[in-house]
Amino acid sequence: MYLGPIVEIGTRDAVWEQLLHPNIRALISAVPRLDPDAERPSKIVLSGDLPSPMNPPAGCRFQTRCPVAIERSSREMPRPACFG
């Protein structure tokens, strides 16, 4: 979920393996690892403006921080990614 809407739907393993939504990728990259030798993805640091939960942007609520946002993102909420 991001500011209310669901962005990915699936089993824990399916979501973990696919990592389709940029916010999910950033969250997973920030998870601490107990094993310092374990492989870990590069840490993703999001930039951009944090949207207000009281006055979210039109269209995709993640668009102000999304590295892959397109013009359509400002008008339409994307459907959740579904798998697993």
pLDDT tens for residues 10-53? 888 888 888 888 888 898 888 888 887 877 768 889 999 999 99
Let me know if residue 60 belongs to a domain.
yes
Which ranges constitute the DSSP H helices of the chain? 12-18, 22-29
Distance of CA 32 to CAs 28, 43, 44, 55, 84, Å? 9, 11, 13, 32, 25
Number of domains in the chain: 1
Amino acid at 27: L
**Residue 84's pLDDT band (cuts 50, 70, 90):** low
Let me know if residue 23 belongs to a domain.
yes
Please give the structure tokens belonging to residue 41. 């993805």
Residue-level pLDDT at 55: 93
Q: In angstroms, rounded to a whole number, what is the distance separating the alpha carbons of residues 25 and 16?
A: 9
Let me know if residue 36 belongs to a domain.
no
Instruction: Give the domain range for residue 48.
Output: 1-31+42-78
